[in-house]
Amino acid sequence: MPAFSLDPEQTTWCARLRTLAAEQLRPLADKGEPGRVNRPLVAALGELGLLARLFDSGALDLCLMRESLAQVCTEAETALALQGLGAHPVAAFGSPEQRGRWLPEVVAGRAVAAFALSEPGAGSDAAALALRAVPDPATGGWRLHGEKRWISNAPEADFTTVFARTGDPEGLDGAGGVGGAGGARGVSAFLVPADRPGLTGEPLDMLAPHAIGGLAFDGVPVGPEDLLGEPGQGFRVAMNTLNLFRPSVGAFAVGMAQAALDATLAHTAGRPAFGGVLADLQAVSHQVAEMATRTEAARLLVYAAAEAHDRGDPDVPRRAAMAKLLATETAQYVVDAAVQLHGARALQRGHLLEHLYREVRAPRIYEGATEVQRTIIAKELYRNAAARTGSTGSTESTEMSSARPSGAGVPA
C-alpha cells in the first residue's frame, strides 16, 4: 500500500478551518443549551460553506473537516456530522423533489436532519428492526408504528431519515408489505418531515451534552413519494451512509485525541514537579510518546479508509470498520491518559479534558460499537479468504455481512 500524506493545500485548509472554529464557532457553541439543537451554530456552519461541502466532496474531505473541528470545537464537529448523516440518504437516494425540497435548506443551515435506525431492541442488531410500515389501502402508502431510540437531533429535527420494516420478518410477507424478505431485506427508508401527524418525541439526558432523543410513531402516514431508494432496499441506504461516515467517526476521535495530546504537551512541559517539570520524568515522557504514536497510527488508518472509499475500493466495509475501531479506542486511551497526567484539575467541570472525557465515550458505541466493528472485520476477512480459495463456506455479500450488525445508534 502506498504511503499517505496530506498535500500542502489540504494542510493549509485544515489550519484555516481550526482558526475559523476557534474564532466563529466556539463562541456560538458556548452559548448553546446542553441537550438541545444549537440552531445558530448550524446556521454558521451553513454560512461558512461547510455544510455544502458535505455533499460535494468525498470521504477524505469529510474526515479532514471532522478532525479539524473536533480539535477546537466538538459541538461544531457534531452539528456538521449529524447534518451529513441525516441528509446523505436524501442526497444519494432521494427523488428530485425530495432533494430540491430539503437539501438547499440543510446546506444553508436552516433545516436540521436526523438519521433514525436504532430502536430500544435493535441497536447493534439493526436487522431486528421492529418499527413497522403497515400498508394503508386508502392512500396506497403506509402507516408507521413503533419507536426509535437514541436518535441524535431528535425530537427537534425538521426531517428524519427513518428505517422501517415493510416486509414480513419471517419472509412470508403476511402483512402485505413490499419487502417480501425478512431481516435486512425487509426494511425500507423513508423521509419523514417533523410535522407528520402521529409523530412525537422526547429528549434523553445523556452523558455527552448533545440533542439526543426518542421518537414515537403512532400511525404516521408515509407514501411512495417519501421513499428513499427502492422499497425493501433500506439497508442499502443505511450501509451506503454508514460506510461513508464510519471513517469520519474515526476522524472525530482522532481530533479529540490530538486536542488531548496538545493539552498534555503544554501541561507537562510547564508543570513543576520534583525539582523540574513533569516532562522530565521518564514515565511521563514515555506516556506522551505512546499517546502520540497511537494517535498518528489511528489518523493514518482513517485517511487510508477514506481514500479507499473515494476510490471505490470493494473492501470499504472492512477498512471503515478498522478505522473506526482503532481510532475510537485510541481516543479513549489518549484522553484517559491525558486526564491522569493533568491530575485533579482535569476533573473540574469546564476543563477541556473534562469535556473531552464525556465526549470520547460515545463514539465507541454509535454507528457500530467496537464489538460490532470486530465482527464486520472478521466476516470480511473470512469472506475474502473463502473467495480466494474457492471455499464453499459462508460468503455473504459485503452489504449484508456489514449490515446485520450495524449498530447505527446515537451519534453523540
22-44 pLDDT, tens per residue?
999 999 999 999 889 999 999 99
d(CA 124, CA 381): 20
Please report the pLDDT score of residue 412 as a whole number.
37
Q: Which grid coordinates belong to 53?
A: 461541502
pLDDT, tens digit (0-9, with 9 covering 90-100), for 86-111: 999 999 999 999 999 999 999 999 99
Question: pTM of the prediction?
Answer: 0.89
CB atoms within 10 A of CB 49: 10
Catalytic annotation, pick one of 367, 380, 396, 399: 367
367 an active-site residue? yes
- Look at 379 and 3; give whichever has higher pLDDT: 379
Determine the average pLDDT of the residues in 235-251. Answer: 91
Q: Give the position of cell 425538521.
A: 158
Please report the pLDDT score of residue 395 as a whole number.
42
What is the percent of the chain with per-residue pLDDT over 90, rounded to a whole number?
A: 80
Does pLDDT of 310 surpass 70?
A: yes
Is there a contact between 245 and 88 (Cβ–Cβ < 8 Å)? yes
343 in the Ramachandran plot: left (φ > 0), alpha (ψ -120 to 50) or beta? Answer: left
